[in-house]
Structure 1
Amino acid sequence: MSSFDTDRLAVILRDAAKAEILPRFRHLDAGMVRQKTDAIDLVTEADEQAERRIKAAVEATWPEALFVGEESVAANPALLDELDRAAFAIVVDPVDGTANFAAGLPLFATMAAVVRNGETIAGIIYDPMGDDWVLAEKGGGAWQRRPDGTQWRLQVATAPGLADLVGHVSITFLPAESKPKVLANLAKIKVAANYRVAGHDYRTFATGFSHFVMFNKLMPWDHLAGTLISQEAGGYAARFDGSPYLPSHRAGGLLIASDPDTWNLLRSEVFTV
């Protein structure tokens, strides 16, 4: 198990959400929302102010840590290269699911992962609307926890056959030539959902309410926490080529399933990218 104070980081995320995110939910005017790269890549005042608050608290608590936030990287892309070399880093997504948040949909998350020497050792997904966390430390299992201290251990669901699988699938960043084939292949399973918020895709999987998640673009703030939590809940994770997913990876796809057999089945029958 990690010796990192995961509980302290979890409280920092919650405090930022209470102070900077929830007061702005459904109270954003036009000047508080901007496009970054395109119409579905948004940033809001809540993202920016929450990240500033989290960064200040992280730097006060762990001054030796490299802070890598989604909005910090937007301003300074070289931070991603620093992450690959860092002995100790904390990676944060202040509002995962910004498009949902901006649209007034109550499905978004605040996430953080802790990286030591190129390995994710802790991950936290906080749900501001539900006011609870799913979190994990490497080797310590995955847990759902409420602010009153109540918690329970998470376990992924036992997967059924291909035709009855329920999963969360992001096709947005698949190569254009692969999308038609993958979309056709998804007819082989029961449900292919997409919440447009990785944090809740991972929560649904780790809490046993789906059988797999699939992503192609691998930005660390989106996937480090969720992958560790999924693995600690018993899931099997690998990139499309079968190699482990690491904090240094930005591409190569990511498929996480209830077990290795289901992973291989999905890779051969559905995600033949």
Structure 2
Amino acid sequence: MADTLLDDVAGLLRETADQVVLPLFRKLDDADISEKAPGELVTVADRRAEEMISATLRRMRPGSVVVGEEAVADDPALLEHLRGSGDVWLVDPVDGTSNFAAGRRPFALMVALLTDGEQVAAWVLDPLAGTLAVAREGEGSWLDGRPVRTDEAVPALDTLRGAAMTRFLPPESRARAEAGGERLGEVLPGQHCAGREYLDVLTGDQQFVLFWRTLPWDHAPGTLLVRAAGGTARRFDGADYRPADDGHGLLVAANDEVWAEVREALLGAG
């Protein structure tokens, strides 16, 4: 991997945010927002940002493939590249589109690089907060240019704080998670922006986050960021998250011990 790759992609995300995304924040017309699927919004900012990011990533690494969220909406067969060989970029041009379309924060720009199906680098930018996290497999994670590690402490169960998108769980699991959440210090409803949830685990603002939907562009960047910083990102059954895997359910935590305690509280020990 080129020595400048982390900086080059970080610069691309900042440039895209400054030139494409932020100029449209709170300035969208009704015609600029549409549904690509029932309940799934897309804006002109999503499409323009993905075009800019994708074109530059292809130039950075000739022969690579870009799998962008909006491109997949038009051609789902692109997901097959996640199971192939070579370099594949995953791009979420505006993570948290519902927030962006409503003129709310947070939202993020996210990229992950896969080589032969394995996550090797990741970038998450919250442009309003000015927060940028990057990671390289085997080397670690950096937050705003400084090395970052997730907290190794294991706080008491009733002091743990995190988000759980329980509204998406199957009814039986949702009822169990909502009841189990009473054992934890604070269970937040989520920010409608996966990228911000991962950043908050890195900063220690929350010790865990539970997702049901696990689309690859939403989670490939963040899971690598957390794991490279010493944290844990696994399916509910304990299997490591892999972007090409089908299925639902993902629990992310600051460390293995917190992961196990939150899993038992929200999902049971089985």
TM range (shorter): over 0.9
Give the counterpart of 1:259 among 255, 262, 268.
Answer: 255
Q: Displaced runs of 4+ in structure 1, greater than 2 A? A: 1-4, 36-39
Query: 2 CA distance for matches of 1:97 and 1:252?
Result: 19
**Number of residue pairs aligned between Structure 1 and Structure 2:** 267
* 2:261 partner SS: helix
How high is the TM-score relative to the length of structure 2?
0.94
Q: Is the 8 A contact 1:214 1:253 kept in 2?
A: yes
Structure 2 match to 1:91: 90
Structure 1 match to 2:41: 42
Cα 1:239/1:4, change in 2 over 3 Å: farther
Q: Is the 8 A contact 1:112 1:221 kept in 2?
A: yes
State which drifts further: 169-178 or 92-101: 169-178
RMSD of Structure 2 on Structure 1 (CA): 1.7
Provide structure 2 residue ranges, at least 5 long, that are not aligned to the other structure.
Answer: none
Structure 1 match to 2:60: 61
Query: 2 CA distance for matches of 1:88 and 1:49?
Result: 23
Give the counterpart of 1:159 among 127, 151, 154.
Answer: 154
- Greater helix proportion: 2
* 1:36 partner SS: strand
1:143-169 CA-to-partner distances (Å, cap 9, x unmatched) read 112xxxxx2221213231111100121
How high is the TM-score relative to the length of structure 1?
0.93
Cα 1:117/1:2, change in 2 over 3 Å: farther
The Cα shift of 1:171 comes to: 2.4
Q: Is the 8 A contact 2:154 2:257 kept in 1?
A: no
Query: 2 CA distance for matches of 1:35 and 1:214?
Result: 26
Structure 2 match to 1:13: 13
Q: Is the 8 A contact 1:2 1:137 kept in 2?
A: no
Structure 2 match to 1:126: 125
Query: 1 CA distance for matches of 2:167 and 2:80?
Result: 25
Structure 1 match to 2:142: 143
Query: 2 CA distance for matches of 1:249 and 1:172?
Result: 22
The Cα shift of 1:172 comes to: 4.0
Provide structure 1 residue ranges, at least 5 long, that are not aligned to the other structure.
Answer: 146-150
1:85-119 CA-to-partner distances (Å, cap 9, x unmatched) read 13210101000000111111121000000001111
Tell me the amino acid that sits aligned with residue 156 of structure 1: T
The Cα shift of 1:75 comes to: 0.6
Tell me the amino acid that sits aligned with residue 108 of structure 1: F
Query: 1 CA distance for matches of 2:262 and 2:2?
Result: 32
Work out the percentage of aligned pairs sharing the same amino acid.
37
